Structure 1
Amino acid sequence: MGEVFLAMRLVCSMALVCIFSWILYVYGNIWFKTQRVRRKLQKQGMKGPPPSFLHGNLPDMQRIQAHAKSLAKAPNCNHSDQFLAHDYTSTLFPYFELWRKQYGPLYTYSTGMKQHLYVNQPELVRELNRYMSLDLGKPTYVTNKLAPLLGNGILRANGLSWAHQRKLVAAEFFMDKVKGMVGLMIESAQPLLTKWEQMIEGQGSGANAIAEVKVDEDLRELSADVISRVCFGHSYSKGKEVFSKLRSMQKAMSKEGGFLFAPTGFCNILNFSSKKQNEINSLETEIESLIWELVKERKRECSEDSSLSSEKDLMQLLLESSMSDENVGKEYSKSFIVDNCKNIYFAGHETTAVAASWCLMLLALHPEWQDRIRVEVSQHCPNGIPDVDSLPLFKTVTMVIQEVLRLYPPAAFVSREAYEDIKIGDLNIPKGVCVWTLIPTIHRDPKVWGPNANEFKPERFSEGVSKACKIPHAYVPFGAGNRLCLGKNFAMVQLKVVLILIISKFSFTLSPGYMHSPAYAMIVEPGHGVHILIQKI
């Protein structure tokens, strides 16, 4: 019996040795391939931090991040221009800033087996913008991690699948279509305006009554209501649970920290914990179920009233597209609709709401720009309610929004992966390399924007983006190239409408309780919210 036991132990030990040897062999080969790619980049003059075996520069990133956190002070209540306009990338992404100072605006680094190229050279960013081939797309390891939130919708898709979905969804956000949404945007804003008026009245009936408002959640509800009405034919109340659970999933995924830069597989030291993954999986199932119920409700409504199917909002376009190909299975048809709804629900309301919060923060700090906007309101819509014809006349509002998006772009990165060997400008990028551009850094580059690059100066956009900086292609708040955000027109119009309506009714300043602490939760948002003191005009 003892001999049998010893034999079994020997077999198990040999099996473990074989498995471990196989893992080392496979990952050793991958490692050497990674090193070959790294050498190809180095031969072109690119330097970067030396990687460790298997883990690349991930240990360095963790160490630098931990050191930055230990040095970080408590959220600052200082409302000076100098503090509020500081370059927050050194706190949120300290490894990128450290390496940029060491190796310049173009360097290489690795996360495990994945080689990356950091690009913050304006000329190369311009060339990156111009590259239209489908050989350059979203990094696969990033999109894999975002699958629970975005499914296989337009924000995650690549290649021909992405091209098909973009063609379908983009039609809903052409400017002619967006102009028809202005009335719904104004209607959706009324509950927010009424709520704030009632809060002021609750502080007294005098002309000097002031209320403190945390604007973030109110702006999220407003933005969610708009996207619900214009794209899916229902109000925020029907989709409220969807938005709430999407927000919960966003927070759960963001809490893991650094997941965007972690590799997949054996050396993934930043993987989600099983408990957190179970929470995310549960939220994914609930969100998809809620969206599908809304889809089935639309189908029932269309079957009962044929005139509804002629109202071509995004929901109807998705339904028609999914049913147009008889060879497409029911499950794919369902996931196609649900995944794109998730993408539009998330991207269509979260980024716009965050941008509006940053707008109110900077306008609260600079009340003279509120006064300039009110002058435009009195000139173009004395009743304080803009329309399709008057919106293009609000030049000051446009300048303010453009400057806010320069200083606090909700999207922190433009990220791409080369699916084949490609050439960007004079740079040869090997297949598999991921290219990253840190948007806040290039938006604050003194060489592009001048010595006042960190200051709030909307007047720099008085003659448009082309005259605001030396290299207009370095202004990328909505991304770059053929993957430029298709909701750009929608976001700009909604931001204009919201700011005009608020500023025509209220004056506001920053609350003493406001704590300036930009945070990265897939987008750059106010870490502790935006608190303002509002007063009726």
Structure 2
Amino acid sequence: MELIETQVLLSLCLVGVCSLALYLYYIAWLRPESVRRKLRQQGITGPPPSSFLYGNSLEMKRLVIAEKSRGRRQGLVEIKHDYMPLVFPYFEQWRKAYGPVFAYSVGNVVALHVSHPDVVKEISLCSSLDLGKATYLKKTHEPLFGQGILKSNGDCWSHQRKIIAPEFFSDKVKGMVDLMVDSATPLLKSWEEMVELGGGTAEIKVDEDLRCYSADVISRTCFGSNYIRGKDIFMKLRALQKAVSRPNLLAEITGFRYFPTKRTRMVQRLNKEVNSLILKTVKEEGAGREQCASQKNLLQAILGSASDSLTSTSDSFIVDNCKNIYFAGHETTAVATTWCLMLLGLHPEWQARARAEAAELCGGRRSPDANALQKMKTLTMVIQETLRLYPPGAFVARETLQEMEFGGVRIPRGVNIYVPISTLHHDPDIWGPQAHRFNPERFAKGVMGACLLPNTYLPFGAGPRTCLGQNFAMAELKVILSLILLGFTFSLSPSYCHSPSLRLIVEPEHGVQLLVKKL
């Protein structure tokens, strides 16, 4: 009897193992291969998967390591603004081999790389909810974004956009300028003290100061007076970003992300701490809503929508959207400001032009107002050129939630479409032979006059999902840059090491060091 029971148990185990193997074979190979075959039949080729479970991802990682190693061996110190060969060498290699539209695989996800301007235009003009945000790495990134506006799709995204978009209309942003100026005071005082201690010149690594400034701005303007606790949230979100920035392919393939690793435990801990801080802030804000009804902010709009829905998921709705706004509202703007200062430090002639303009428009005041910001044409050109050369987002990422057609190609459901923003922003056929050079003058007549195909300028994304906070971001960039220009002169430090790196967004790997003097 015991022998029979043992044999039955072994048979059940064998059936379970075989079933699991077949399931993995189906989701890791058969399903993506079916998608690749449909694309090949229409002339869309690409690199064949080099690994059963990992697709092309191991090859991608190898090429990045090889490129960085080559750079270290050669001791490269020259600042080259075209960072695609360094950060994305595999895309450069595959574009040369397969053209501007090709397919590749990351794990069991089939991705379509699209840099053909005509196809990009079609994607940008598509307003269908069937073209949503890419779900690849959604499980891995869920602690950072949840089901908030940055990652949600369909009616859920449409509902959230209706709530959040009005809070970033230009008339609302104008009313936030004074708060933005106030948020800059600690940074300016800190730099003045460092310059005095340095005998008139100080080497300052600006990255963290700009993150603190941007965090303070988003906390004050969007979340009321709770900006001190907001700073704690940002610090933990930054740690959470670093923890989830590396792909977790095993989780994406199997759908199970809670493997008991050290990294997973850290992500879970940070996620709980961030959620707790946000809910505590929300509770305090909710208690004071009636007393401060005249002072509306984004958090109150989110709270109002959650209370109106009366659903059991209202807490997750609030927390997820607060996380999304915290992340998108400060991280990308801080990095964009960092790149602006790097370029202005490298080009003193443009620094002088932007400073003279700010001084003229601000008159006897020490800070700009909303009217002055609108008239800052030179600074606007500098920011637009910076966002062309160093767009914080590396891609416009979409997914076909149903079968769709672009550029005459029927794209099966579930294909992730990646439009490489930097490839388009550095294309000589679009921007001219000096596409890799810093030249804000190209934007003298706006984006329409800057290049042959304006629809390929995508610093804030494309289509209906264009960044909601672009007016807010532009105002914040102008405020902090004009205040720094009015207070200091600066140049790029010899210790600066130019190495753009992808950590969800493209940022300086080793930070940006400036030699700063007080005016």
Is the TM value for this pair above 0.5? yes
Q: How does 1:354-365 map to 2 (within 5 A)?
A: 354-365=335-346
Q: Which residue of 2 aligns with 1:10?
A: 7
1:43 paired with 2:41, answer: yes
Runs (5+) with no aligned partner, structure 2? none
Aligned length: 516
SS at match of 1:309: coil
How far apart are the structure 1 equivalents of 2:69 and 2:75? 15
SS at match of 1:265: helix
SS at match of 2:264: helix
Q: Which residue of 1 aligns with 2:299?
A: 315
1:325 maps to a residue whose letter is S
Q: Which residue of 1 aligns with 2:114?
A: 119
- Candidates 244, 252, 259, aligned match of 1:253: 244
Q: Which residue of 1 aligns with 2:269?
A: 282
1:229 paired with 2:212, answer: no
- Describe the superposition over 1:475-506 as per-residue Cα deviations: whole angstroms up to 9, x where unpaired: 11111111101011100111011111111111
State the 1:234 CA deviation. Answer: 1.7
Q: Which residue of 1 aligns with 2:191?
A: 196
- For the Cα contact (< 8 Å) 1:75–1:516, is it kept in 2? no
SS at match of 2:445: coil
State the 1:113 CA deviation. Answer: 2.5
Q: Which residue of 2 aligns with 1:26?
A: 23
How far apart are the structure 1 equivalents of 2:74 and 2:393? 22
SS at match of 1:84: coil
2:238 maps to a residue whose letter is R
Q: How does 1:96-245 map to 2 (within 5 A)?
A: 96-204=91-199, 209-245=200-236
Change beyond 3 A, Cα 1:219–1:55: closer
SS at match of 2:491: strand
How far apart are the structure 1 equivalents of 2:125 and 2:427? 21
1:61 maps to a residue whose letter is M
| Greater Cα shift, 230-239 or 490-499 | 230-239
How far apart are the structure 2 equivalents of 1:192 and 1:532? 14
1:95 paired with 2:90, answer: yes
- Describe the superposition over 1:275-314 as per-residue Cα deviations: whole angstroms up to 9, x where unpaired: 1010000000000001111111112223xxx341332201
- For the Cα contact (< 8 Å) 2:388–2:457, is it kept in 1? yes
Q: Which residue of 1 aligns with 2:252?
A: 264
> What TM-score comes out, normalization by structure 2 length?
0.94
1:453 paired with 2:435, answer: yes
| Greater Cα shift, 482-491 or 136-145 | 136-145
State the 1:69 CA deviation. Answer: 4.0
- For the Cα contact (< 8 Å) 2:139–2:251, is it kept in 1? no
- Describe the superposition over 1:225-270 as per-residue Cα deviations: whole angstroms up to 9, x where unpaired: 110011010253221211110011111122x3x45x77723499x9
Change beyond 3 A, Cα 1:394–1:227: same
SS at match of 1:73: helix
How far apart are the structure 2 equivalents of 1:443 and 1:496? 22
How far apart are the structure 2 equivalents of 1:53 and 1:238? 46
Change beyond 3 A, Cα 1:27–1:33: same
1:354 maps to a residue whose letter is V
1:408 paired with 2:390, answer: yes
SS at match of 1:223: helix
1:50 maps to a residue whose letter is P
Q: Which residue of 2 aligns with 1:353?
A: 334
2:70 maps to a residue whose letter is L
SS at match of 2:252: coil
2:446 maps to a residue whose letter is G
SS at match of 2:419: strand
State the 1:59 CA deviation. Answer: 3.4
- For the Cα contact (< 8 Å) 2:55–2:107, is it kept in 1? yes
1:499 maps to a residue whose letter is L
- For the Cα contact (< 8 Å) 1:178–1:489, is it kept in 2? yes
How far apart are the structure 1 equivalents of 2:428 and 2:285? 51
Q: Which residue of 2 aligns with 1:380?
A: 361
- Candidates 365, 390, 414, aligned match of 2:372: 390
1:216 maps to a residue whose letter is D
- Candidates 292, 296, 321, aligned match of 2:279: 292
- For the Cα contact (< 8 Å) 1:446–1:452, is it kept in 2? yes
How far apart are the structure 2 equivalents of 1:214 and 1:55? 38
Q: Which residue of 2 aligns with 1:57?
A: 56
Change beyond 3 A, Cα 1:445–1:293: same
- For the Cα contact (< 8 Å) 1:58–1:262, is it kept in 2? no
1:220 maps to a residue whose letter is R
How far apart are the structure 1 equivalents of 2:285 and 2:512? 37
- Describe the superposition over 1:435-459 as per-residue Cα deviations: whole angstroms up to 9, x where unpaired: 0112111111111111111111111
2:321 maps to a residue whose letter is N
- Describe the superposition over 1:113-139 as per-residue Cα deviations: whole angstroms up to 9, x where unpaired: 221111011111111110111101112
1:32 maps to a residue whose letter is L
1:264 maps to a residue whose letter is E
SS at match of 2:8: helix
SS at match of 1:308: coil
Runs (5+) with no aligned partner, structure 1? none
How far apart are the structure 2 equivalents of 1:346 and 1:366? 30
How far apart are the structure 1 equivalents of 2:33 and 2:146? 32
- Please report the RMSD computed on the Cα atoms of aligned residues, expressed in angstroms: 2.1
State the 1:346 CA deviation. Answer: 1.1
How far apart are the structure 1 equivalents of 2:427 and 2:373? 31
Q: Which residue of 2 aligns with 1:339?
A: 320
- For the Cα contact (< 8 Å) 1:85–1:456, is it kept in 2? no
- For the Cα contact (< 8 Å) 1:111–1:263, is it kept in 2? no
Change beyond 3 A, Cα 1:524–1:46: same
State the 1:152 CA deviation. Answer: 1.4
Change beyond 3 A, Cα 1:471–1:363: same
How far apart are the structure 1 equivalents of 2:108 and 2:504? 23
2:55 maps to a residue whose letter is G
How far apart are the structure 2 equivalents of 1:158 and 1:267? 19
How far apart are the structure 2 equivalents of 1:177 and 1:37? 46
How far apart are the structure 1 equivalents of 2:426 and 2:259? 33
How far apart are the structure 2 equivalents of 1:521 and 1:112? 19
State the 1:362 CA deviation. Answer: 0.5
Q: Percent identity?
A: 50
How far apart are the structure 1 equivalents of 2:300 and 2:212? 23
State the 1:35 CA deviation. Answer: 2.2
How far apart are the structure 2 equivalents of 1:473 and 1:262? 37
State the 1:8 CA deviation. Answer: 5.1
State the 1:36 CA deviation. Answer: 2.5
2:340 maps to a residue whose letter is C
- For the Cα contact (< 8 Å) 1:352–1:491, is it kept in 2? yes
State the 1:76 CA deviation. Answer: 6.2
- Describe the superposition over 1:309-331 as per-residue Cα deviations: whole angstroms up to 9, x where unpaired: 332201111111111134x12xx
- For the Cα contact (< 8 Å) 2:130–2:154, is it kept in 1? yes
- For the Cα contact (< 8 Å) 2:136–2:416, is it kept in 1? no
SS at match of 1:264: helix
State the 1:54 CA deviation. Answer: 4.4
